[in-house]
Amino acid sequence: MSTIGNSTNIVWHKCSVEKCDRDELLQQRGCVIWVTGLSGSGKSTLACALGRGLHARGKLTYILDGDNVRHGLNRDLSFRAEDRAENIRRTGEVAKLFADAGVICIASLISPYRKERDACRALLAEGDFIEVFMDIPLHVCEARDPKGLYKLARAGKIKGFTGVDDPYEPPLTSEIVLRQNQGICDSPNDLADIVISYLDKKGYLKA
């Protein structure tokens, strides 16, 4: 019997069908691709391109997009620091379940804090958490501003906007860093291909 958080007297129940069996069934290795970066850096676009690219190769993926998860599971959370931390924690736990199911789970959320991202990494087996840093400068994200949120933040109409008046801690040791070349960003499909090549090389696209 053990105590986990606020749950007392709980025992882990093991089943004879395990992750390796599901991986075998799906002919892939369940893992988490964690896409982090500023608003407007291209996280959701990359996640979709990656989902499409892997689907076309017969691989099962699922996207946990920050915006979307905040429509349901995380609808009770705001953008203050403790709620962002909880947003990251919950998304990390859900991503872990997807990976355990054998799915290639693509989590795309700003996830501005290094400590919380690293805590999500620690939930997975070595190698199974693949951090992708969208290293796109703030001024580029701000110029894109597809939702007009930077404009509102600069006008003081949104308080605590990441990169404007709220922190973003860039990763120090991401598996993959995607950045502009001479001021030009590769197309979303080209960026997705970089990630797919990584997965292929590391053996995640076969059981």
Ligand X SMILES: Nc1ncnc2c1ncn2[C@@H]1O[C@H](COP(=O)(O)OS(=O)(=O)O)[C@@H](OP(=O)(O)O)[C@H]1O
Binding site for ligand ADP (CB under 6 A): 37, 39-45, 144, 146, 185, 187-188, 191
Query: Could you say whether residue 30 binds ligand X (CB under 6 A)?
Result: no
8 A C-beta contact, residue 38 and residue 162: yes
Letter for the amino acid at 142?
A: E
Q: Which option in ligand X, ligand ADP, none does residue 194 bind, with CB closer than 5 to 8 A by kind?
A: none
**Residue 117 in contact with ligand X, rule: CB under 6 A:** no
Question: Contact between 61 and ligand X (CB under 6 A)?
Answer: no
**Closer CB to ligand X, 105 or 205, in the complex:** 105
Catalytic residue chosen out of the listed positions 111, 174, 187, 197: 111
On whether the CB atoms of residues 57 and 206 are closer than 8 A, the answer is no
Q: Measured between alpha carbons, how far is 107 from 204 in angstroms, rounded to an integer?
A: 16
Both tokens of 1, joined, read: 């019997």
Strands 2-4 and 7-10: antiparallel
Q: Nearest distance from residue 25's CB to ligand X, in Å?
A: 31
> Between the CA of residue 124 and those of 66, 117, 127, 177, 185, what are the distances in Å?
20, 12, 8, 20, 31
| Stretch near ligand X under the rule CB under 6 A, chosen from 2-10, 153-161, 182-190, 198-206 | 153-161
Q: Determine which residue in the list 18, 21, 24, 67 makes contact with ligand X, applying CB under 6 A.
A: 67
Any catalytic annotation for residue 111? Answer: yes
Which residue carries 């093991």 as its tokens? Answer: 14
Applying CB under 6 A, which residues contact ligand X? 39-40, 43-44, 66-67, 70, 79, 84, 87-88, 109-112, 147, 149, 158, 160-162, 166
